[in-house]
Homo-oligomer: A and B are copies of this chain.
Amino acid sequence: MSEKKIKKSKDRCTLQEILDVIGGKWAMSIIYALFPGKKRFSELERMIPGINTRMLVKELKNMEENQIVTREVFATVPPTVEYTLTEKGKKLEPIINELYKWGVEYVG
């Protein structure tokens, strides 16, 4: 058996941890929407078809906890909330772009 790649428990846990961070139904779509630059909550909501407000709040909170995005609140009326990718989040750009290319070729 050639199970070398994931024979170590540490390796396996790492992959599972990664998926906890970005493997959710919406996380990659949100990251993808943030590649061009910061976005307001309402912009993200418009950009991601099928997501609802509750899910977007939940995913962004999770991504903030995992240091994928930063959240800035501006004291406008009503308050403006903006999300930006962190360095850690930006490093996903080439990977998600490759995944997207794969999808265009094989799924879309």
Contacts and interface: CB of A to CB of B under 8 A. Distances in A.
A107 interface: yes
A91 B104 CA distance: 13
Chain A facing B: main interface SS: helix
Contacts of A35: 5
B49 A13 contact: yes
Interface residues of A, number: 50
Contact of A104 (B4, B14, B95): B14
Interface stretch (A20-28, A54-62, A70-78): A20-28
Nearest to A108: B14
A47 B6 contact: yes
Contacts of A52: none
A19 B25 contact: yes
Given A1-B43, A23-B28, A25-B23, A107 B12 contact: no
Interface of A: 1-6, 9-10, 12-19, 21-25, 28-29, 32-33, 35-37, 43, 47-50, 66-67, 88, 91-92, 94-95, 98-100, 102-108
